Amino acid sequence: MMPGLPEGPADRRSEWFVPQWGPPKFRSFLGILFLPYTGMVLSFSLIGSMLANPIHWDRALAIAVIYFLGLGIAAHALDALGSKGLKPWGAVFTKGQLWFMAGASLTLAYLLAIYYMVRFVPLLWFFAIAEGFFVFAYNLELFKGKFHTDKWFAFSWGFLPVLAGYVMQTNNISPAALLLAMAMALFSMVEIKASRPYKSLRALYDTLQDEEKALMIRYETILKSISLGVILLGTGLLVWRMNG
């Protein structure tokens, strides 16, 4: 065995972003949330919010909560349902429980969004409809998987969240927001391009040669770096604006 390579089976609960303590259902729930990647999307919405002047802090918090509910919980629960029977997180959650998580989270997200759309930001309706479409079309691989592609991933979970954060503040779109949204979409593209081969290698972990395991570790390092980098970028902008 080459030094630095992990030991153990290809169980998704042994992923780097899942705690190695606690009961199986708790660990699987945190795993389903994909917290580093969810953190990236929340940071995208925060980055968009921080472009505005002045900043409505309640709206910055609201858009982050909306994306946590809509993507962090609902979309990932649907992703577990749309895994074509592979059950990547085991059998600790039934289909009914996953549907309940998705439905309840989406309901709460849209109730919160509707409050702001009706009172302050009607332009947010476009993003609510578009993201609602991708929650189902991407994660359940509807329309023969036509929208389950890297480009649509980068658009729906990279480009749109930045603009949604900005629109939530201003009910407007600016060239600067569009450029930053495109930049974050490219970061999302890097993440998904590394994630797919990483997941494929991880699934075959017990049969991999040392060189293939080393390649898997490289992909894992890319995923850790890109997710942490984006989260730190969003946090840095938040701290800057709070002290500005």
Domain membership flag for residue 5? no
The CATH number given to whatever domain includes residue 54 is 1.10.600
Q: What is the pLDDT along the chain (244 residues), one digit of tens a residue?
A: 334 444 444 567 778 888 888 888 888 899 999 999 999 999 999 999 999 999 999 999 999 999 999 999 999 999 988 766 455 666 788 889 999 999 999 999 999 999 999 999 999 999 999 999 999 999 999 999 999 999 999 999 999 999 999 999 999 999 999 999 999 999 999 999 999 999 889 888 888 899 999 999 999 999 999 999 999 999 999 999 999 7
Q: What is the pLDDT of residue 88?
A: 60
Q: In which element (H, E) is residue 209 found?
A: none
Give pLDDT, residue 100.
96
Structure tokens given for 111: 């109730």
pLDDT number for residue 137: 96
Counted domains in the chain? 1
In-domain check, residue 129: yes
Residue 169: inside a domain, yes or no?
yes
Locate 37 and state its tokens. 């990647």
Does residue 11 lie within any of the structural domains?
no
Please check whether residue 4 lies inside any domain of the structure.
no
Residue 3 lies in a domain: no
- Taking the C-alpha atoms of residue 119 and residue 138, their distance in angstroms, rounded to an integer, is 30
In a domain, 13, yes or no: no
Residue 92 counted as domain residue: yes
Q: What is the pLDDT of residue 2?
A: 39
Which structural domain, as residue segments, surrounds residue 114? 20-243
Answer for the pair 18, 132: CB distance below 8 angstroms, yes or no: no
DSSP 8-state class, residue 71: I
Burial per residue of 161-178, b for 16 or more beta-carbon CB atoms within 10 angstroms, e otherwise: bbbbbbbbbbeeeeeebe
